Amino acid sequence: MRRYFYGYNVHILFTADGIPVEYTFLPGKCHDSNALKQMPLLVAAGSRIYADSAYTNYTIEDMLKDAENIELLVQRKSNSKRKHEPYVDYKILTMRKRIKTTCCNGIRIYFESCNFYFQLCYYKNNIINSNLS
């Protein structure tokens, strides 16, 4: 007997202050970098978006930089073609951790208090942080 899992991912764009400004829902089978194609990304020119390694898509990075002057700073894997300087990796990691621990825990607590089945809606580091300074 086969078992199926019907799930989805929630991708949220937060400001540096932890305020959610954009979100999108994608089926669980879609790659995380597709969230960047779904979101309108209505952020100010010159913004920085911090993301985890699942959002690695060099084409989208180049298009955002050329068209909108938005810098997509993705946490790189060790075998990445475009490596960051160590201080950039540290900045990406600290920004993502701050947003993940403060904002996502608050969202998770809210949904659990509403008896919402939160297992389907998981974040697994799918946090994008926009620095609008």
In a domain, 3, yes or no: no
In a domain, 1, yes or no: no
Q: Which of 56, 50, 126 is nearest to 94 (CA)?
A: 50
List the structure tokens of 13: 């764009």
Helix (H, G, I), strand (E, B) or coil at 9: strand
Question: CB–CB of 12/111 below 8 Å?
Answer: no
pTM surpassing 0.85? no
Q: Per-residue confidence of the chain (133 residues) as pLDDT tens digits?
A: 666 666 777 888 888 777 788 888 888 788 888 888 888 888 888 889 888 888 999 999 999 999 989 999 998 988 999 999 999 999 988 888 877 777 766 666 665 554 444 333 333 334 444 444 3
In a domain, 60, yes or no: yes
Contact partners, residue 79, CB within 8 Å, separation at least 6: none
In a domain, 2, yes or no: no
Are β-strands 48-51 and 20-27 bridged in parallel, bridged antiparallel, or unpaired? unpaired
For residue 79, what are the domain limits? 8-131
What's the structural domain count of the chain? 1
